[in-house]
Chain A
Amino acid sequence: MDENAKKVNPIVVDVSHVSMYFDVPQYRYDTLKERVVNFLKGKRNRTRRIQVLEDVSFQINRGESLGVIGHNGAGKSTLLKIVSGIYAPKAGTVKTRGKVVLLNLGAGFDMEADAVENIYLNGAILGFSRAQMKKRFDSIVEFAEIEDFLKLPLKNYSSGMISRLGFAIAMDIHPDVLLVDEVLSVGDANFQKKCLERIRQMQDEGTSLLFVSHSIPQVRSFCKNTIWIENSKVMAYGDTETVCNQYLEYCESIAGKKKK
């Protein structure tokens, strides 16, 4: 089925009219005691609806990349969590094909365990057995450059090292869709370069990329299309050059207003 099906239908990510909100209660009751006390007092707990995404639609073809830009709190990370299946959207549908891997800081790691255990744990969460991960072990450790720290608990790692390990595992698993949430920014310059080269190589091999970044040059160099999200709404979606220019203009106009 595989090769032909992919040629016939090269869409690997299909997000259609997705909306997401969280109902946040005015007071957060975490215990049974609080609930009972407040019920007896007759206090009503109203919830406030926080809209995170509103009617977001896009598609990614096999081997293509989509950049996601926007200010902090715009809803980018939530979007990635919805595409990866962590959250179920309140409206709309998400369809993905093949193995989807979400790469964010500290994803799938136990900070108390050491690197060896975490490689197996992370692999198992992605559906790989211990034997399968053993074969990949050396190349993961080599790519992450952590040979000397294998027996160290992850809580003693720097954030750059953790991101390197996460990246190395995700790369070795050859996902069909890679969701990258701002992880490259914590690595040093050399590692960033290595990662970017690797991502490009994976794109050639047919991996699709959903790329959240605040680095406009990186988005420009990777992504054919870009989606710009601001305050939970899609501001622009299309050709990267056009969308990035619109975004930068918007940023300048905001900065201008603030100065005045």
Chain B
Amino acid sequence: MKRIPVISAVYRDRNAIYEIARKDVKTQYRGSVLGFLWTILHPLLNMLVLWIIFRNLFGKSDPYYVLYLLCGNILFAAFRASTDQSLRSIVGNRGLLLRTKISPYIFPAAKTVTGMINFAYSLLALLPFMIYLSVTQGVNLFSYQLAFVLLVLPAFWLFELGMGLFLSALYVFFRDLRHIYAVILTLWMYLTPIFYKVENLNLDDFGRTVINCNPMYHFVTYFRECVYMGATAKNAEGLLAPTLPSWTTLGICYLCGVGGLILGIAFFMALKRKIIIRI
């Protein structure tokens, strides 16, 4: 394994990636009174706002709609934060890159690791909503399906890393990419079924293709199959019957993750030498 160039590089740089990610997590909320608690509070408050707003807009008929909404939102928020921070990471560490021999890919890699840690904390913020629903609806939402979320996390991370490598390298050459990407993210978010359900849309073939080509759609779908469907799927008699998430969706997620990473690495390698000169 260590003979493959990419893997041997990651193995060599493992300490640097770890230290930079660790430093990021620590400095994230430095100077705020509540400190580290913000890592959990931030997604929690965010979700509370969404819940209050959307409960009254769409959620009247489905009591579990809040769970549907939060699953999509939590995942897309993690993707947004991770890639947006990766984008700036190489330019932001200009000083370090020009004074030490350190491979530039380490910075987006560390940012996505930090992003995954933050994502794990934001999952904790789902807990109060699940407890609330369990109590008010009189069902146990904590089924074993939840554990299947873990299976998709590596694929999600690989996809973020691929995007992070691509964006951070491109940002060195186009400093307005930040603003462009912010617009793209907004568009991307609305193309991903977060607030709405695909089955409620009257999509033609083209619309269906667009939705299917969106990797985030598959990640969100799998994530929901674990958390939301696991709790709310009903059998023929109309009773709650937890179902397993689909293996096909998981397979597509891994295809997106590995594919995205390969494209990201290829793009990064092509620009690698120019980055240090241009930065």
Contacts and interface: CB of A to CB of B under 8 A. Distances in A.
Interface of A: 22, 30-33, 35, 81, 84-88, 100, 102, 104, 106-113, 117, 120-121, 123-125, 127-130
Given A22-B277, A106-B95, A108-B96, A124 B16 contact: yes
Contact of A124 (B15, B26, B98, B273): B15
A112 B27 contact: yes
B20 interface: yes
Contacts of B23: 110, 113, 117, 121
A128 B15 contact: yes
Interface stretch (B171-179, B196-204, B239-247): B171-179
8 contacts: A30-B173, A32-B177, A86-B101, A86-B276, A88-B273, A108-B102, A124-B19, A127-B12
B18 to A, nearest CB: 7
Interface residues of B, number: 26
A120 to B, nearest CB: 5
Interface string B105-144: 0000000000000000000000000000000000000000
Contacts of A30: 173-176
B contact face: mostly helix, strand, loop, or mixed:
helix
Greatest chain A CB density within 10 A among B15, B174, B273 is at: B15
A31 B95 CA distance: 21
B180 A102 contact: no
Contact of A120 (B19, B27, B95, B273): B19
Given A121-B23, A127-B12, A107 B176 contact: no
Nearest to B180: A32
A125 B176 CA distance: 30
A109 to B, nearest CB: 8
Interface string B1-43: 0000000000010011011100100110000000000000000
